[in-house]
Amino acid sequence: MPDQIPDLAELRGDCAQCFGLCCVALPFTAGADFAIDKPAGKPCSNLREDHRCGIHAGLREKGFAGCTVYDCFGAGQKVSRLTFGGQDWRTGSGERARLMFEVFPVVRQLHELLRYLTEALGMEAARPVHAGLSEALERTELLTRGTPEELAGLDVAAHRQEVNVLLLRAGELARAGATGGAAQTGKGGKAGKNGKGGKRGAKDRRGADLIGARLRGADLRGASLRGAYLIAADLTGADLREADMIGADLRDADLTDADLTGAFFLTQPQVNAARGNAGTRLPETVTRPGHWAADD
């Protein structure tokens, strides 16, 4: 085991310690989530000189709901304070600023992996792969501490693929423990459409196209929803206990009165993108979004 496993609370953005990197480095397009177009590397028109958002208290009302969904998993403060030693992109050279904007998305991906690995190491059912998870966590943390040039040249996709093998196995073990073994992949009846036309276990919905699906009250306990498209799906009152939620797209999904107790690999951005109410039960790894109450 690592000498110190990161606290999940530490793997969240701390805007006070960041130079507003997500407001500059990332692009967005005018639509339902953003009121304007902005190319990568250009500061958002709402970003103030002190790196704070000028409309933070009214982002959703002013058409910037996408900003309220996003989280950098703590990458912003690490790139700002550690990778670039507190050097502001406004005062450094243009080349240095471009490098900072290039590095930020890479570190965000690494921090997202740290988030998953930290959670997996807390799963008792995943103990058979704890050694591998621990090694992957140490290696990933080491990568986040690389120089700007090392991070810019990192093949982060290849690293994600290696780590995903361990996360997939951890998820299978956790799901099997939740359903008495029935959650093993490749067993059971037909699954929903998975994007490849294949048949899988009844609760294996990896990569499934469930956009707008009517899943009200559905029994999805111990299901694998890895990478599933649940955009605008009706999950009212659904049982999602101990489900694997890694990469599931929950934008505008209705989680009213749904039970996600013990659901794992569920991140704050996923929850923020969904709709819910006071009756929605969430795992301890995430917090109830403030805008849910406003949207009820």
3-state SS, one letter per residue, for the chain: CCCCCCCHHHCCCCHHHCCCCHHHHCCECCCCCCCCCECCCCCCCCECCCCCECCHHHCCCCCCHHHHHCCCCCHHHHHHHHHCCCCCCCCCCHHHHHHHHHHHHHHHHHHHHHHHHHHHHCCHHHHHHHHHHHHHHHHHHHHHCCCHHHHHCCCHHHHHHHHHHHHHHHHHHHHHHHHCCCCCCCCCCCCCCCCCCCCCCCCECCCCECCCCECCCCECCCCECCCCECCCCECCCCECCCCECCCCECCCCECCCCECCCCECCCHHHHHHCECCCCCECCCCCCCCHHHHHHC
Q: What is the mean pLDDT of residues 110-136?
A: 97
Q: What is the mean pLDDT of residues 229-257?
A: 97
pLDDT bucket at 6, cuts 50 / 70 / 90: confident
Confidence at residue 184, expressed as pLDDT on a 0 to 100 scale: 45
pLDDT at 279 over 50: yes
pLDDT bucket at 1, cuts 50 / 70 / 90: low
Which of the pair, 196 or 124, is modelled with greater confidence? 124
Per cent of the chain over pLDDT 90 is: 82
Q: Which of 40-54, 82-96, 174-188, 263-277 shows the lowest mean pLDDT across its residues? A: 174-188
Q: What is the mean pLDDT of the chain?
A: 90
pLDDT bucket at 25, cuts 50 / 70 / 90: very high
Cβ atoms of residues 163 and 143 within 8 Å: no
Confidence at residue 186, expressed as pLDDT on a 0 to 100 scale: 37
Q: Is the pTM of this model over 0.75?
A: yes
Q: Which of 191-195, 197-201, 237-241 shows the lowest mean pLDDT across its residues? A: 191-195
